[in-house]
Amino acid sequence: MNRTDISRRRFALIAGTASAIPLIGAEPLTAEAVIKRIKTAIGGDWPPTGPDGFKAGDPSTVVKGIATTAMATLDVLKQAVKANTNLILTYEPTFYARADGQAPIGRGQGGFAADDPVIKAKREFIEKNGLVVFRLRDHWQARKADDMVTGLANALGWSAHRVKRDDSLYDIPPVTAASTVASIRSKLNLRAGLRAVGDRNAAIRRVLLFPGSMTPATMRQRYSEVDMIVAGEVREWENTHYAADMFTAGEKRALVTTGRVVSEEPGMRLCAEWVKTIVKTVPSKWISVGDPYWRPA
């Protein structure tokens, strides 16, 4: 046996041994491992009965990419597949109700039958494409940074106008309500989802931002503080007509609703940027849901 043969054998042995030893940090990153990092970074309790958690897919799936979104609609899931992302972090329910795809509850309580064709088709799409969906709402909303409000302010170009004593208040350059509404429509790329009530000629200076759903109590408490409230959604017979009657009574104020999910999108865009600082080995991106309403000709 010559020295060349020995060298080759030793090389083969060394190479084979090296390939059998996993490199530090090179282990596949599963959805469960990603969520563990997110939970650690955010902190707090994560009770199994809360709204946040895995809603579809196998948590042991190896993550190729992460997508954040305000709501994991079927269109968003299709975009996620095209973008080569398979872990979706969604703010709103994936399956249209508080139960969010868990055991169905009785009629009239927001539950769906187990064989509902839309839910079934959505689950099949998720399974077929190896997707994993995790809801991240309460814990993301509870962060001190108040990313949902900050994100909406960023999208509207109002970040520099925040009133320091209240993250929800913004003193924007004075302009009419009609002009403010037009700017909101343009910057959020809205179609028919935007609604406005009040004096369209009123001068708007101080604005309250409230992404998501505003309760009647919150609106009535804060309406007198501002010239305009910009919320995601309100209950029409409680909030909208209250604002309309205030206008009829002579108040120079306005109420604008953009649509709940649309108002939450900028906050989940910030979420994607934040996730990049927590998980650096796979790409993260934000996928927009968009305004679902269309404008009649």
Tens of pLDDT along the chain (297 residues) come to 444 444 444 433 333 333 333 333 557 899 999 999 999 999 999 998 889 999 999 999 999 999 999 999 999 999 999 999 999 999 999 999 888 866 554 444 456 776 889 999 999 999 999 999 999 999 999 888 789 999 999 999 999 999 987 789 999 999 999 999 999 999 999 999 999 999 999 999 999 999 999 999 999 899 999 999 999 999 999 999 999 998 999 999 999 999 999 999 999 999 999 999 999 999 999 999 999 999 876
Is there a shared CATH topology between the 31-142 domain and the 147-260 domain?
A: yes
pLDDT value at residue 68: 98
Q: What is the pTM of this model?
A: 0.87
Task: Give me the residues paired with residue 53 across strands.
Answer: 135
Domain boundaries, the chain: 31-142, 147-260
Give CA separation, 267 vs 68, 165, 193, in Å: 10, 21, 18
Instruction: Spell out the CATH class of 31-142.
Output: alpha beta
Token look-up 């906050």 returns 267
| pLDDT for the residue 264 | 98
What pLDDT, on a 0 to 100 scale, did the predictor assign at position 34?
98
For residue 104, the model assigns a pLDDT of 53
CATH number among 3.40.1390.30, 3.20.20.140, 3.30.460.80, 3.40.50.300, domain 147-260? 3.40.1390.30
Q: Which residues pair with 196 in a beta bridge?
A: 256
Q: What is the pLDDT of residue 144?
A: 81
Strands (E) located in 19-130: 53-56, 66-69, 87-90
From 80, 78, 62, 58, select the one nearest 134 (Cα to Cα).
58
Task: Count CB-CB contacts under 10 A for residue 295.
Answer: 9
Phi-psi domain of 221 (left: phi exceeds 0; alpha: psi -120 through 50; beta: other): alpha
3-state secondary structure of 205: strand
